[in-house]
Structure 1
């Protein structure tokens, strides 16, 4: 495994029932950066994340995380996973939730107040989760993922359904965690969030169609808006796929070029 990578995926093949999610994908995720997995719903973002944290059954290929196979016991305290649904208990307070999960993973008790403060919920620490807004509940779930100072945080659409202000506040938290040395993999289908990442991986129909940076994304497509840039890449990929299935003859290509 390359020293600068937190994750290396090679030839990943995943089936779900009769559906083939990935045939064979390769991906490197560098350490200390925010890598955004972008793309429409159903493109494979969650399956890829589940494969990275070791909870997805795979049909072939390898996933190496922090130099060990994904999902091994040694990674329990080094890797955290925040699912789309907030995985906290509604009838417990924020503080009680964090104390419970800290004990589960063996994180120090001092971590509880630290992460509650980091996600901006110190004033609500003694409130039950059920009494919180949706955005606050997502912050509690994020706080759980930050316990124990993990080296890799895998966050599945943590800002979905939130208003622009709340999304911006969460991204400030992500950036602070990354600047402290952690690697973050975050998925989203809100394309303007791509500009907040260090790297962008765009998936379409179980394939990686772009692995780039925000600046290169806009430069390569000639667009100034991320939505337009992603649409341009998807249209380009769709055209290439159509061409591969129905290639023009050389004569047709010459005739088209001469028109």
Structure 2
């Protein structure tokens, strides 16, 4: 990952308050075009709040966020960003095919192009055999996989995934990461939130969050070297002020 690559996402001094409670405190970071950037942190660290603002679903209380050179939030960015939420936003009474067709139409996909992308996305998440089943009959893991297929449907320039592999078996998890790496090589910028350390190690760079603050940023190797840690988990504990 070249240091000279252009910034795809710029976050500058971002805060977020809910009432009197500030849940993000002056976050500043840069995500480069075509990289896989991981946001690593425990539950409640602010990862989901931050990615919602990157996706344009929520608005910062203070600071600025630019995605692909556009100040967020901006409705026109819908077609350029793929977002997979932590909780599945699916229509349970519809089939998977109907869900894909609905979301595809929101992204401006039509006709043969929509059918092709539906097939390709469902093949990736290994759900082709279940296209015509109602989502209400899907297991939790199947719903996660369908949510990922929907996020990938319109081949977005920026893909934002909030805990994408929760409830997914190891074999499929590997195939999903293989696809994320392939997308990155083709120029897609991928942001992944996770609390799984082996997934964090697959990212090109990481931002470590704790208590709504960015406590460290760098490649997995840089973070381990700077903290004298043998693993990402040890590095995270070091930066968080916790002694292993």
TM-score, length-normalised on structure 2?
0.89
Unaligned runs of 5+ in 1: 239-259
Please say if 1:134 is aligned against 2:137: no
Please say if 1:104 is aligned against 2:106: yes
1:73 Cα shift? 2.4
1:188 Cα shift? 0.8
Label 1:168 to 1:3 Cα distance change in 2 as closer, same or farther (>3 A).
closer
| Aligned residue number for residue 176 of structure 1 | 182
| Aligned residue number for residue 49 of structure 1 | 51
Which stretches of structure 1, 4 residues or longer, exceed 4 Å deviation after superposition?
A: none
1:3 Cα shift? 6.9
Deviations 1:153-174 (A, max 9, x none): 1111112244434433332232
1:184 Cα shift? 0.7
User: For residues 56 and 224 of structure 1, what CA distance do their matches in structure 2 show?
Assistant: 37
User: For residues 41 and 129 of structure 1, what CA distance do their matches in structure 2 show?
Assistant: 27
Unaligned runs of 5+ in 2: none
User: For residues 171 and 62 of structure 1, what CA distance do their matches in structure 2 show?
Assistant: 30
- Point out the structure with max Rg over C-alpha: 1
Alignment partner of 2:75 out of 50, 73, 78: 73
User: For residues 139 and 180 of structure 2, what CA distance do their matches in structure 1 show?
Assistant: 20
Structure number having the greater helix percentage: 1
| Aligned residue number for residue 16 of structure 1 | 18
| Aligned residue number for residue 152 of structure 1 | 158
Label 1:170 to 1:3 Cα distance change in 2 as closer, same or farther (>3 A).
closer
Aligned residue for 2:66, secondary structure, equals strand
Label 1:41 to 1:167 Cα distance change in 2 as closer, same or farther (>3 A).
same
Aligned residue for 2:201, secondary structure, equals helix
- Once the two structures are overlaid, the 10-residue window that deviates more, 57-66 or 120-129, is 120-129
- Once the two structures are overlaid, the 10-residue window that deviates more, 60-69 or 220-229, is 220-229
Deviations 1:32-62 (A, max 9, x none): 0110000111111111111112222322211
Alignment partner of 1:115 out of 121, 126, 138: 121
1:140 Cα shift? 0.5
TM-score, length-normalised on structure 1?
0.84
Q: Is the 8 A contact 2:37 2:203 kept in 1?
A: yes
RMSD value, Cα:
2.0
User: For residues 145 and 170 of structure 1, what CA distance do their matches in structure 2 show?
Assistant: 13
Please say if 1:209 is aligned against 2:215: yes
Deviations 1:201-241 (A, max 9, x none): 001111111111112222223333322221122126x9xxx
Aligned pair count?
236
Q: Is the 8 A contact 1:135 1:166 kept in 2?
A: no
| Aligned residue number for residue 241 of structure 2 | 235
